[in-house]
A and B are shown apart, each in its own frame.
Chain A
Amino acid sequence: MTVLLFAGVAERVGARRLAVEVAPGDRVRDVRDRLVAAHPQLEPFLPTLRYALDEEYADEDTPVPAGATLALIPPVSGG
């Protein structure tokens, strides 16, 4: 699946788009854990990170269909 990164998350990882393997039955949290294992610098974002699956807000329990796009959205405070 494709994972889109925004703002500070993209900066920390150094990419705005990643490809991640998904197994049948995976939920958002499984994909997230796999991402954090590969990119430990994501860890501090976890408490405030929000997820959108195919442009719909999702939580950690949402099942991830194959071929879906997951967006990791951190809050941004600048004005």
Chain B
Amino acid sequence: MTVSVYIPTLFRHLVGNRVHVQARGRTVRDVLVDLDRQFPGFRQQLFGPEGRLAAHINVYVNQVEIGTLQGEETPVREGDEVAVIPALAGGAVALTPEMVERYSRHIIMPQVGSAGQRKIMEAKVLIIGAGGLGSPVAIYLALAGVGTIGLVDFDVVDRSNLQRQILHQDDDVGRPKVVSAKETLLAYNPYVQVVTHETPLTSDNAFEIIEPYDIVVNGADNFATRYLVNDACYLLKKPLVDGSILMFDGQATTYLPGRGCYRCLYPAPPPPGMVPSCAEAGVLGAMCATIGSIQATEVLKLILGIGEPLVNRLLLYDALALEFRIVRIRRDPNCPLCGDNPTITQLIDYEAFCGSPFPAAQHA
């Protein structure tokens, strides 16, 4: 008998990311054994050490759970649909033994635990720019198992990116950054989902792109995109973990809606050409990891609800002096966006506002 087996997201990496695969057998057990023969690694996901179907896995034949039929000996017929569904616990995905091992150094900390790890696996985080900051942020979030990682970038990998953008390697020069980034992240951790947005972020698409995510990380390389991301996140009530770098200096802070925003900090963009970009002035590659790692840490703290986020505080990193300073900042009641009498209630023309077009790249 040949049946169609529905593969849930969690296991799709084992079967070439297909939703349905064909398998043969007379009983459910035959079908599962055939799955493992076709896709090595499946068995250890499904069966416990004694060769029994793991307690957190439910199998359905034509949408009837086999526990109410004949268990693993339930016969199947030609054309049946078999579904292999991991149990849900509190609305969260169950941790397989492999995941428990993979994330064990997080799970053993009481501040994380298996409940925290499930929160991480359910989280959806959007990263603006797959460049200097976006690289370490994306890699650490993928390693931590953040369930959905979105990447916005429309540029291709340039050789001059390789000095700091650790998502991309020499062979990637000329390839779209989001494609190279997705490959790198899935190689690090096949259990995460990477959603690529290969487009410039604009006032026309920002809401649509940002809306599905829980938290946004800013790794943009220009002021127009920084004001756009700030305004869109505030208007959509999304936390924004901000970071920026130039030469030997870095800045980082976290904006929670209603508790201050980028406009409270910097009400007006600098005149065009006043503050150089990394392309113009350079940046020490290793600095990206310092600031990006702080951003990734902030994201994980927000997901887990632990510690004190970098809210109402601006971190200044001076790599030459090797000094970190934290400056207390606050919401400006006169802020045109998040103040008491806002005048910006929708996205505006950021190229006009900044007096310069969105540059050819959104990450430097």
Contact = CB atoms under 8 A, between A and B. Distances in A.
Interface of A: 4, 6-8, 10-11, 16, 44-45, 47-48, 50, 52, 55-57, 71, 73-79
A71 B325 CA distance: 10
A59 B285 CA distance: 33
A50 B270 CA distance: 12
Contact of A6 (B134, B222, B249, B328): B249
B269 interface: yes
Nearest to A74: B275
Interface in B312-327: 314, 316, 318, 320-321, 325-327
B244 A47 contact: no
Contact of A79 (B129, B249, B281, B318): B129
A48 B329 contact: no
B219 interface: yes
Contacts, number: 105
A56 B275 CA distance: 23
B325 A16 contact: no
13 contacts: A6-B316, A44-B271, A48-B269, A73-B314, A76-B244, A76-B251, A77-B221, A77-B244, A78-B244, A79-B128, A79-B132, A79-B219, A79-B363
Contacts of B362: 79
B277 A78 contact: yes
Contact of B327 (A8, A44, A52): A52
Contacts of A7: 246-247, 249, 251, 275
Counting chain B residues whose Cβ lies within 8 A of the other chain, the interface size class is 35 or more
B305 interface: no
A56 B278 CA distance: 28
A11 B275 CA distance: 11
Nearest to B326: A55
A75 B275 contact: yes
Nearest to B280: A78
B293 to A, nearest CB: 14
B352 interface: no
Contact of B223 (A50, A55, A73, A77): A77
Contact of B245 (A52, A71, A73, A79): A79
Closest 6 CB pairs of A and B: A78-B278, A79-B219, A7-B249, A52-B327, A76-B244, A78-B246
A79 B274 contact: no
B220 A44 contact: no
Nearest to B287: A78
A67 B270 CA distance: 30
